Amino acid sequence: MPLIAKEYLHALVIMLAPFTFGAIILYPSPTSLEICEAHGITTDSTQWALYNAVSSLFAIVGPPIVQILLKLFSNSRKKTLFTIAVFSFIGWLLNILTKFHIWVGIVMRAVIGVIMGMNAAIGPLYLVEIAPEGKSGLFGTLNQIGISVGQVFFNFVGPTVNYMILCVIGAVIPLIQCIFVLFIDESPAVVIRSSEEPLESKEQSDIDQNDLEKICENKVVNESLWRMKHMGSLAAGILTMFFQQFSGINAIVTNQAELLGNTGLSLDGSTQGGIASIAQVVGLFVMAPLVDKIGRKAMWVASSFITAVSLLIFALYDRLSLAGYVPLVTLLILQFGFGLGLGPLPWFLVPQYFSDEIPRKQASTVISSVNFVFTFITIVTWSSMKRNMTFFGALLFFTCIEILSILFGVICIKEPTKNLDDIEKIKESQIDNEEMTIPNVE
């Protein structure tokens, strides 16, 4: 018996996709001062705000491209992942063109943003499908862990190299993935679909329609998401993404080198940010075994409360001129609280709101796109918020949003009424017409 099940080794290869996603979104943080100085702009300028945020806006285009690739490769996750890794390698090298002009850099960030969206789409889909029985929740969490590890890595490496070398390092990661993806298994869902065994025969298939009906309590209805009865659930799903992104997490993370650089501590801002990002990974590992024991509502409320308190302390640091270590400690708490629920939970919550296959997957696509839009808004408006509301006012605004998130969690977060993992496994063996499910941004 092997020391490590092959699914875990294959997951490490697939996790390089969310790793790349996390690295792309964080890249402006450790490189901000160097790039701004090279082009004669400031971190409060419109050009830098666009450079920082445009990747999140164009990431919306990534998931539809993944759907096209899946159709082109007969739903092969393996071939699609390989192709995305090639695109990622090229995208990182194109990002070096930032050297010539900031507007060229903005265009390249838009291009790599599309690639970021592609990595965001394929990672969790593949991870959940290769999960051993009973481990789909854990493997789903691996996607967020990959994002966080990518951010930690770039926070620590960023200060030691210039922004062009950091692009080369970013390109090496998908290059490694291109090599190792050749040795991993295809998704079991694709293997099932490609089987020539008739699904109607009980002797040739372990699952039939009666099994599906027994778990779902009714047949899958191929109805559209856009019906009045689904609007409440869709609104709740969109609100989870609103509260996730309007915690200000991405605005803070993509600017944390600057925010932490003036604390007076001996560590540079990026290194402090890397230390803080580790706390999110810890939060994710704490969340994974707890969410099924104490429930999604409790985890959401706890996460929102911790996030609100840490944002308030961060705001008071600026207003009251507290000790220099306060921002680092506060950011540690903020990242831990985010990883505890606000970060990963929306991707667990939304599917439970829809009992039917088509609306559930359409809803996942919609809220993922909304997530990227909210990310873009919070990042691109951060500089103007600091100017017009002051740093204290901006963080107080995010604090109020998270207080509302606590109330939202108490009133609106529902616990699952069905075993969604079992439903998905049965449907994967019977439903050939697939809609792509897209996952989280930090």
- The answer to whether residue 115 is domain-embedded is yes
Q: Are residues 235 and 184 both part of a single domain? A: no
In the DSSP assignment, the letter for residue 74 is: T
Output the DSSP codes for 381-426.
THHHHHHHHHHHHHHHHHHHHHHHHHHHHHHH----SS-HHHHHHH
Q: Which residues contact 240 (CB under 8 A, 6 or more apart)?
A: 345, 346, 349, 350, 367
H helix and E strand count, the chain: 21, 0
Confidence band, pLDDT 50/70/90 cuts, at residue 91: very high
* DSSP-based three-state secondary structure for 344: coil
At residue 94, the pLDDT reads 96
pLDDT band at 432 (very low <50, low <70, confident <90, very high): very low
Kindly give the residue spans of alpha helices, DSSP state H, lying in 130-187.
136-157, 163-180
Do 133 and 246 lie in one domain? The reply is: no
Is the per-residue pLDDT at 208 higher than 60?
Answer: no
In this structure, the answer to whether residues 176 and 262 fall within a common structural domain is no
- For residue 340, the enclosing domain spans 229-416
Average pLDDT, the chain: 80
In whole angstroms, what is the distance from residue 382 CA to residue 360 CA?
33
Question: Is residue 121 located within the same domain as residue 19?
Answer: yes
Range from 102-106, 117-121, 325-329, 370-374 carrying the lowest mean pLDDT: 325-329
* Domain boundary pick from 131, 163, 188: 188
CATH for 259: 1.20.1250.20
Residue 196 within any structural domain of the chain = no
What percent of the chain lies above the pLDDT cut of 90?
36
Confidence of residue 280 (pLDDT cuts 50, 70, 90): confident
Provide the phi-psi class of 328: left if phi over 0, else alpha when psi is between -120 and 50, else beta: alpha
Q: What is the mean pLDDT of residues 129-157?
A: 81
Residues 303 and 171 in one domain: no
- Domains contained in the chain, number: 2
pLDDT score, position 312: 92
pLDDT higher than threshold 70 for residue 266: no
Give the side-chain half-sphere CA count within 13 A for 195.
18
